[in-house]
Amino acid sequence: LRRGENSNDLSGRRIVISAGGTREAIDPVRYIGNHSSGKQGYALARTAAARGAQVTLVAANVSLPDPAGVEVVPVTSAVELGEAVQERRSGADAVVMAAAVADFRPSSSVGSKIKKSGGEPVPIGLAENPDILAELVRTRPERAPGQTVVGFAAETDDVIANGRAKLERKGCDLLVVNQVGQGRAFGTDDNQAVILGTGGSATEVPNGPKEDLADRVWDLVVERLTG
C-alpha cells in the first residue's frame, strides 16, 4: 500500500495551489502565454482534497472541470495570480506553485488592437513580473511548524543541478523538478520528476499519472507538517 493512499492525512489542513499558465496582454486580443495545461495543478488539488484538505485552486487559463469540493479562483495574468495567492495564503499549511508564471509582461498593454501600419513591426517592450514564489518565502508567517512552500521547475538540461540551484535561490522547502522537451510533460497525463528538498533530499518519482506525483508531493508535505 502506498503511503497516503486511502488516508485522511491532510484532514484539517488548508492548502493553496496555483495551476495553469498566465497570459500577459499585448492588446485586447493578443497575449504572451505558455503551454501549461494545468493538469498537474489540478491533480494536486484532487489528491489533496481526497486526503481531506480544504483546497483553494488559483487557476490561470485552465480548461479542465473544477475538482469536486475545491474552491477555484480564476485568474489571467501573473500579477493577478500573485495577488490571488497572497490574499489566500494566510493561515494555509502549504502553498504549492504549480502554475507556469510568465517571467515578463508587455510593459505597456494598449487599450486598442494593434494594427499593421504597413511599415516596420512595432516592438513589444517587456517588464519583469514579480517572483511570486520568492515573495511567498520572503513573507512567510513565522509560526511553527510554518507554512510549507513548494515550487515547480521545468528544465530541459542539467535537471538536477539546475533544480538544486533554483531551490536555493527561491528559498522554498520543496522543488518538484521535471524534464521537458521531447514531448514530455506539457499537456500529457503522465509526469516524471525528482522532488528536491532543503537539506539535500531527492525523491525520484518514476514516470506515471500526474496523481502519483501529486501524492508523493503530499507525502513530503505531510512529513514536514508533522515532523
- Which phi and psi angles does 189 have, rounded to 5°? -95, -10
Cis? peptide before 145, omega within 30° of 0: yes
Q: Which does residue 83 touch among ligand CTP, Ca ion, none (CB within 5 to 8 A, set by kind)? A: none
Distances (CA, A) of 47 to 70, 95, 214, 221: 11, 15, 7, 13
Interacting residues with ligand CTP (CB under 6 A):
78, 97, 99, 101, 103, 129, 131-133, 151-153, 166
Instruction: Say if residue 166 carries a ligand binding annotation.
Output: yes
Instruction: Say if residue 219 carries a ligand binding annotation.
Output: no
Do residues 39 and 61 lie in contact, with contact meaning Cβ atoms separated by under 8 Å? Answer: no
Q: Which does residue 60 touch among Ca ion, ligand CTP, none (CB within 5 to 8 A, set by kind)? A: none
- To 10 degrees, what angle do helices 39-50 and 210-226 make? 50
Instruction: Say if residue 124 carries a ligand binding annotation.
Output: no
| Shortest Å distance, C-beta 185 to Ca ion | 15
Q: Give the residue, chosen from 27, 103, 155, 190, that forms a contact with Ca ion under the rule CB under 5 A.
A: 103
Q: Known binding site for CTP: residues?
A: 103, 113, 130-133, 152, 166, 170
Which residues contribute to the site for Ca ion (CB under 5 A)?
103
